[in-house]
Structure 1
Amino acid sequence: MSTVTERCQVAKSRLATNATKESDSNEYNEDRQQLVTDDQKRSWDWPAKSSASLAEQRARKIIFKIREHERSDPELFGNLPGENVPDARSRDMGGRFLVNLPKIRLSKIYAIARRIPKGCHQHLHFNSEVSPEELFPYARNASMGGTMFIRSTRPLLNLDDYEETEIVFNVLPESTTNANIFSDKYNPEWKNTTNSPWMLWKDFRQQFFGRVPREAQTEGLEPAESWARHKMVITIDHTYNQNQTHNGAWACFNQGTRAFKGLLGYEGIYRWYIGHAIDRMIGDKVMYAELRPMLMDKTMPSDDGLRQLGHKEQMSIICEEITKKKEELKRNDQLDQFPFGLKIIYCAPRSIPRQRMHTELEDCLKLKLQFPDLVCGFDLVGAEDRPNNIGFYADLLTAFTKTCDELNISIPFFFHAGETLLDTGGSHHPENSNLYDALLLKAKRIGHGYALLKHPELVEKYKQQNICLELCPISNELLHLCGNAREHPYPQLLAAGLHCTLNADNPSLFRGNATFSSSLSDEFYQVIVGDPRMTVHGWKQLAQWSIEHSCLGADDMEKAKEIHARDWEEFCEWVVSEYGEHAASLPELP
């Protein structure tokens, strides 16, 4: 019997022999390459990869090389030279969005993302395409001096009051009693009809004595405006401070939306907003959008506060301004940039009583009958970790669908669902997840779908029913569902075979102290730096799905696909022309 020593010698000899043989063999590498190829053919973006033009294939290589070099560039996202341990100046590509924002704006990948033909924007809340600093000059205008008011939840007597208060704006008649928010006698009670808590915004700006944090100071705005803006947007401190919570982030967001509403909710600015929002989307290479207005308030004031415009008047303004913009584009031979106008998804909060929901559904039907080409869907909105779940209104929503069928009209559901970590529909019970109700009520798309991977059966059924997910990665990060783009489940959702689109949700509130919002460009940038498997082909597939799952009619959808295909090829050729030499000058990647 051989000794252990002898057997060890034999093992050593045989390992050396086999290692030599294996090093001369390509079998393992061939098997591995075949496995990679098979995996890629099963990938969600394979249809785009397999049909890629030569320009697109070249663009993919260029973008990949630039991205990976930017990942290690110390001026952008790499460690600083000679430092093994990152310091406060270091950034991770795909890391926290607001922290990275100054670096992102210097990135060539971001410059490329801005030029992507993005198709359709499906999940954009109505008041969120234009930033606060664009609205304050209108509120400051002499014509609004006697009618733009501000209300505070407490008198502003010291610096703590400035930090803790919540503010809202409103347009009221000049005859409104003018309160003084800076007085210790100020009464913030607004439901008491004998008290007026409203102070003229003009007077507030003149008397303002609060401290404006350096990071909140905004060029072109007065101190009071910069202070108010800082309370309206999600900033680095608001979302990343060590004491912030998921509910706290939502509270900041809700405060911002309430303040924002009054700055946009009057006739003159409302009319201006539509054309300006379209211009912003054209600049971001979006050809069509479906906006989500909250229509709980049934009227909106005129600039003098003396008239109230109902839903019909508001929708008429939208239609008129869409028509004006399309005529302008047509005169300039630019109609292909935004050929289909806008549509509206009627939104109601899921927190309201059932009888009020019944009224909202009635009003949605009424607007659809009055504006059949404008109103395209219905949604329930609000934080999902608070009551009620969609199922609370299931019988009303089912009756709504039957009524639509009987009237021969289409108002599909686009529910916010799965925008949560708990996924219990605002209850203690997981079976109350809104993802179940969205499926049973035959939603056409769902907003976010972040929690869907918790439900293997629902994943399959969502695919069977062709329910598209409206992904909003930046929104999910800033509201504390994930820490950054690299932690977001979008790669897994896509790998599961679910159709998805990219959306900016509330970009005017979600871009921190930046005074420029590129909306969808930021989302396209985030997904390509958040997952190294995302390529130009993935960008293309997401844009194509945004068209396929839109509310465009059959003829418009075909035209949209033709325009996008043309624009996509031009984009790829531009990437090759603009960045080909730069990519070639970079060292080869290991």
Structure 2
Amino acid sequence: MPDVEAARDLLVENIKLAEDSIDYRGNRGELLSAERGCAWDANAKSRASRAELQAQDVVFKIRENERIDPTLFGNLPSEAVPDPRTRDMGGRFLVNKSAIERSKILGIAKGMPKGSHLHLHFNSEIPPEMLFPHARNLHETMFIRTTKPLCTRADFDDAEMVFNVLPKETYKADCFSAMYNPDAKDKNNSPWMLWTDFRNYFPADMVFENTEGLENAEYWAQNKMIIAADNGWQTHNGAWACFNQGTRAFKGLLNYEGVYRWYIGHAIDSMIKDKVMFAELRPMLLDKTIPSDDGTRQLDHKDQMNIICEEVQNKHKELEKAGDLDKFPFGVKIIYCTPRSIPKQRMQIELQDCIKLKLQFPDLICGFDLVGAEDRPNHVGFYADLLVGFTKTCKTLGISIPFMFHAGETLLDTGGSSNPDNSNLYDALLLNAKRIGHGYSLLKHPMLVERYKKQNICLELCPISNELLHLCGNAREHPFPGLLAAGLHCTLNADNPSLFRGPTLDSSSLSHEFYQVMVGDTRMTIHGWKQLAEWSLEHSCLTEAELKQAMEIFGRDWEVFCQWVVETYGEYADGLPDLQ
């Protein structure tokens, strides 16, 4: 057996031979080159202009310096114990939000053309702060109902509330009375309190700081409608409870004639500001009517769709007059949504109503979706016979209403049962979905990954939503890098931004999503940003002619964006420390 000194000499000799050899470095270079060649963003990079390549260098240098910049994120050395001021780039979104707003990468994301927004729930583009002023104007017809009498501070903390527009003759309850009955049904003893009275009689000792121009009653209600960093939502079920409570409250503040009409134009303005060219919105259409502002009339689905069409037309005329039509050239389309929790008999009515709307508005209705927490009944397959019949009926009628199911937005992935065979990811494939919402759990199914790629099913990723509903802890834990690396086509979406951004009037919801993926994965590039935006157009419901026009507009805007990045941030990036 060799002695110790011989072994040492042999190691030294072999290390010297290795130093003189280029084999390992060559093999490593070939390996890296091979991976780059088959990377999901390789096609986008191969088409990159000189300006885009320069912009990528700028973005990379700024991002990596921001990652270690203590003046921005308050990061401490890795071996130090963090304090409450410490921020974590790519960490928890709401905790970091104030620092994110100072990020130059977010500033760059705000200037980026983003293509389409394909997963945006109808009531969630505009924050509640912008809806309350409209509610104040309905002095006699905006009402509130709480789930319990509001007599103690604990009651205010625990109670849920909803809004509704009702005729001014409606019996007016008092939510602050110990005798208040939230379940009253008698027209002479209704549970509804006039919102004006609620605001006027809101307890004087219930005072909040930094209400951002809201009255105390409005600020209290707003906190019931959003998921904020200091809300009691630290569990998955708690987050869903906050989310469902918020959507119920939003419904009454938004779904009445005057604001419904105002909302369309304002939502389009918000999307234009966020550099979004086209959107497919998801309204919940289980409720068949919304009230007029005086509460005396009910507007059915046809009336609501007419309002959408009229307001899109008005916005188009406004943009065309200003020479800005290319900023939002195709209007919006509607994905019919209904909850996954209803009985089959009711689901059949929903499918009938969807077909009816499609026949009435063939260019507006573009898809069908089932929504709700996937860890609760029912799974998509529960309605398989109805959905197969729906598809066959559409084919016979010569209309197209593709499925765009929420699927894989879950950790359990059992379709609200104890059986993993009930995963909605299976049924989305079998029912030939055009896209799926989220797809968070898809990597659990390697065979499905290949089938999804083969059938060209696109994933509508919603990273911030997934984090705030506790599917992951932060952007770095999200599976989007793996989903993209697997070769799946994906888009970025904000899901329910007005519920998920905390108190804010900022309408840059999709910019935050692009920011999060840029800081959440060191391999993300602006070439990747470009590919995600292009896929959002390719997998939209635009016609072939519209898609061609959209890609031309996007290509032109993208080149302008890259030049802007270099001109605006290039000198700043040059002054940053070189990266290792």
TM-score (normalizing by structure 2) = 0.98
- State the shift of 1:220 in Å: 1.4
Preserved CA contact (<8 Å) 1:238 1:249: no
Partner of 2:72: 76
Structure-2 separation of matches of 1:406 and 1:443: 18
Structure-2 separation of matches of 1:426 and 1:191: 33
Preserved CA contact (<8 Å) 1:189 1:195: no
The 5-angstrom pairing of residues 218-297 of structure 1 reads: 218-238=211-231, 244-297=234-287
Partner of 1:104: 100
- State the shift of 1:17 in Å: 2.5
- State the shift of 1:353 in Å: 0.6
CA 1:212–1:414: 2 relative to 1, 3 Å:
farther
Structure-2 separation of matches of 1:132 and 1:513: 8
1:113-142 deviations in Å (ceiling 9; x for gaps) = 10110000000000000000000000001x
Preserved CA contact (<8 Å) 2:170 2:187: no
Partner of 1:577: 567
Name whichever of 205-214 and 181-190 sits farther off: 205-214
Q: Does 1:135 align with 2:131?
A: yes
Partner of 1:559: 549
Runs of 4+ in structure 1 displaced over 3 angstroms?
Answer: 80-83, 190-195, 210-215
Q: Does 1:170 align with 2:160?
A: no
Aligned partner letter, 1:431: D
SS of residue matched to 2:456: coil
Structure-2 separation of matches of 1:502 and 1:288: 13
1:168-201 deviations in Å (ceiling 9; x for gaps) = 0000000000000011111100555563000000
CA 1:226–1:279: 2 relative to 1, 3 Å:
same
Name whichever of 542-551 and 191-200 sits farther off: 191-200
Preserved CA contact (<8 Å) 1:389 1:433: yes
Structure-2 separation of matches of 1:61 and 1:78: 24
- State the shift of 1:40 in Å: 1.1
Q: Does 1:310 align with 2:300?
A: yes
- State the shift of 1:77 in Å: 2.6
- State the shift of 1:507 in Å: 0.2
Preserved CA contact (<8 Å) 2:74 2:85: no
Structure 1 stretches of 5 or more lacking a match? none
SS of residue matched to 2:81: coil
Q: Does 1:387 align with 2:377?
A: yes
- Count of residue pairs brought into register by the alignment: 580
Name whichever of 17-26 and 555-564 sits farther off: 17-26
Structure-2 separation of matches of 1:473 and 1:160: 34
Structure 2 stretches of 5 or more lacking a match? none
Structure-2 separation of matches of 1:101 and 1:190: 42
Aligned partner letter, 2:213: G
SS of residue matched to 1:18: helix
Partner of 2:462: 472
Name whichever of 26-35 and 493-502 sits farther off: 26-35
The 5-angstrom pairing of residues 322-471 of structure 1 reads: 322-471=312-461
Partner of 1:54: 50
CA 1:10–1:78: 2 relative to 1, 3 Å:
farther
The Cα RMSD (Å) is 1.4
CA 1:393–1:201: 2 relative to 1, 3 Å:
same
Structure-2 separation of matches of 1:487 and 1:82: 19
Structure-1 separation of matches of 2:441 and 2:302: 37
CA 1:213–1:333: 2 relative to 1, 3 Å:
same
- State the shift of 1:219 in Å: 1.2
Structure-2 separation of matches of 1:559 and 1:82: 49
Partner of 1:482: 472
Aligned partner letter, 1:222: E
1:249-303 deviations in Å (ceiling 9; x for gaps) = 1000000000000000100000000000000000000000000000111111000
Preserved CA contact (<8 Å) 1:468 1:501: yes
- State the shift of 1:19 in Å: 2.0
Structure-1 separation of matches of 2:390 and 2:122: 23
Structure-2 separation of matches of 1:56 and 1:72: 25
Partner of 2:311: 321
Preserved CA contact (<8 Å) 1:212 1:226: no
Preserved CA contact (<8 Å) 2:273 2:507: no
Structure-1 separation of matches of 2:288 and 2:157: 32
CA 1:226–1:514: 2 relative to 1, 3 Å:
same
Aligned partner letter, 1:14: L
Preserved CA contact (<8 Å) 1:74 1:81: no
Structure-2 separation of matches of 1:83 and 1:41: 37
Structure-1 separation of matches of 2:205 and 2:360: 49
CA 1:433–1:83: 2 relative to 1, 3 Å:
closer
Structure-1 separation of matches of 2:523 and 2:77: 27
Aligned partner letter, 1:523: E
- State the shift of 1:34 in Å: 1.1
- State the shift of 1:78 in Å: 4.9
Preserved CA contact (<8 Å) 1:239 1:479: no
Preserved CA contact (<8 Å) 1:239 1:478: no
